[in-house]
């Protein structure tokens, strides 16, 4: 009897989770791409807002919603410190989800999902896994989710992929969440510094991308 009750409870919890995740995913797919809509939606959950935000970020690989816009929304809602932590947690869950989808379901499924050619990223990561994932993460111009999907098709160990992701995403997450956090004080020195940091990040990304591509072609 206890076994049957336990099984029923697990089924009910699973159904509830599926409904919650499904509704959040639907909202992401239908949501306008701006941080104000994200703020309004996430804040409406009150104390559950951090959990909803983390789930939203974790589902980005399945919806391909712009993660930079979501990160700005996180900074706007929670501030820099909490926004960074929640974004990092969500990004790591999302990256892990992409990684294992590729590893379990294979190249053909991922290509249909992303509509992207992953051969270049796959071959780069296969040669020096940790190094290339780290470098790609440091360059926001390379799509976050495509890197994760591509890595899942290679022989890289998950722990190397995860560690490289944690380190490599520090600059990008900090810059985008800081923009969100400072956007409540438009015109302040902090706001202009956050915009300057974004400009520097883009310039550095272009430089690193060109260097990275030239290095890879050697």
pLDDT tens, position by position, 175-203 = 999 998 888 777 778 778 888 888 888 88
Inform me whether the pLDDT recorded for 39 exceeds 90. Answer: no
Is the four-CA dihedral 45, 58, 178, 114 of positive or negative sign? negative
Length of the chain: 218
At 121 the pLDDT is 64
The rounded distance, in Å, linking the Cα atoms of 31 and 127 is: 39
pLDDT value at 89 more than 90: yes
Tell me what the pLDDT averaged over the chain comes to.
Answer: 78
What is the rounded distance in angstroms from the CA atom of residue 14 to the CA atom of residue 143? 31
Tell whether the model's pLDDT for residue 115 goes beyond 60: no
Q: Is 109's pLDDT higher than 70?
A: no
Predicted local confidence at residue 192, as pLDDT: 82
Please check the confidence at residue 92 and state whether its pLDDT lies above 90: yes
Q: How confident is the model at residue 88 (pLDDT cuts 50, 70, 90)?
A: very high
C-alpha 147/C-alpha 40 separation (Å) is 30
Residue 82 confidence (pLDDT): 94
- 74-to-36, 46, 80, 164 alpha-carbon distances in Å: 10, 14, 8, 22
Average pLDDT over residues 32-56: 83
pLDDT (mean) for 3-23: 63
Q: Look-up: residue for tokens 């902090």?
A: 190
Q: Give the pLDDT band (50/70/90) at residue 114.
A: low
Would you state the pLDDT for residue 119? 59
Strand residues in the chain grouped as ranges (E): none
CA angle 36, 202, 111 (to 5 degrees): 75
Q: What is the DSSP string of 32-83?
A: -SSHHHHHHHHHTTGGGHHHHHHHHHHTHHHH---HHHHHHHHHHHHHHHHH
| Rounded mean pLDDT, 82-101 | 92
pTM of the full structure: 0.78
Phi/psi-derived region of residue 79, left when phi > 0, alpha when psi is between -120 and 50, beta in every other case: left
pLDDT of residue 5: 64
Q: What is the mean pLDDT of residues 91-113?
A: 80
CA 115 – CA 108 distance, rounded (Å): 10
pLDDT digits (tens, 9 = 90+) for 127-164: 677 888 888 888 877 778 888 888 888 888 899 999 99
């Amino acid at each position: 009897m206890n076994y049957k009750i336990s099984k029923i409870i697990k089924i009910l919890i699973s159904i509830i989770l599926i409904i919650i995740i499904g509704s959040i995913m639907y909202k992401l797919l239908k949501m306008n791409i701006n941080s104000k809509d994200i703020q309004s939606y996430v804040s409406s959950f009150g104390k559950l807002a951090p959990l909803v935000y983390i789930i939203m970020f974790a589902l980005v690989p399945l919806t391909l919603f712009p993660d930079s816009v979501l990160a700005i929304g996180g900074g706007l809602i929670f501030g820099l410190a909490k926004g960074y932590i929640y974004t990092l947690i969500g990004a790591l869950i999302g990256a892990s989800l992409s990684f294992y989808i590729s590893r379990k379901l294979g190249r053909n499924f991922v290509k249909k999902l992303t509509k992207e050619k992953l051969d270049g990223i796959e071959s780069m990561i296969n040669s020096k896994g940790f190094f290339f994932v780290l470098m790609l993460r440091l360059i926001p111009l390379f799509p976050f989710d495509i890197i994760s999907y591509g890595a899942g098709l290679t022989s890289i160990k998950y722990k190397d992929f995860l560690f490289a992701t944690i380190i490599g995403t520090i600059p990008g997450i900090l810059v985008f969440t800081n923009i969100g956090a400072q956007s409540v004080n438009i015109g302040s020195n902090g706001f202009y510094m956050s915009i300057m940091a974004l400009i520097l990040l883009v310039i550095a990304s272009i430089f690193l991308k060109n260097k990275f591509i030239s290095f890879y072609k050697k």
